[in-house]
Amino acid sequence: HVQLVESGGGSVQVGGSLRLSCTASGSVDLINKWAWFRQAPGKEREGVAHIYVPDGTLRYAETVRGRFTISLDAAKNIVFLQMNNLSPEDTAMYYCAARLSGSGRSWYGWTSFESYAYWGQGTQVTVST
């Protein structure tokens, strides 16, 4: 099992930046996929960024490409989401997710929340004008 804890959310003005962190504990050596999702009130959970650990492949939603950067500190088992040039449309609860190597869970693509078995509790990001 894996436990994930997010931090770094908060309130920021338009154009500002935040860095989210997700710290993992437990069977961290088995994590081969990390992702950040977000969910705004009344909307579906949206995949924002993804990292495939074995080769470092990064993927981003079109809505955040060029503004958000996902990165991994493997030594500390922390994945980050650097968010720049924030807009009100980025306001949401942000969640960290992880998938283990050899997971029997079906893979529906990196943007599908069903692909990940482990989730953090979320951290709120609010962007105001």
- The average pLDDT across 31-55 equals 96
pLDDT single digits (tens) 69-91: 999 999 999 999 999 999 999 99
- Compute the mean pLDDT over every residue in the chain, rounded to the nearest whole number: 96
> What pLDDT score was predicted for residue 102?
85
Asked if 77 and 24 count as a contact pair (C-beta separation under 8 A), the reply is yes
Write the Ramachandran bin of 103: left for phi over 0, alpha for psi from -120 to 50, otherwise beta. Answer: beta
Contact indicator for 48, 57 with CB cutoff of 8 Å: no
3-state helix, strand, coil in the chain (%, to 5): 5, 55, 40
The residue among 83, 69, 30 whose CA lies nearest residue 53 is 30
Using an 8 Å Cβ cutoff, are 36 and 20 in contact?
A: yes
Q: Give the pLDDT of residue 104.
A: 80
* 3 state SS for 6-28: EECCEEEECCCCEEEEEEEEECH
pLDDT band at 114 (very low <50, low <70, confident <90, very high): very high
Q: What confidence category does residue 3 fall into, taking pLDDT thresholds of 50, 70 and 90? A: very high
- pLDDT reported for residue 16: 98
Q: How confident is the model at residue 105 (pLDDT cuts 50, 70, 90)?
A: confident
Q: For tokens 């930046």, what's the residue?
A: 17
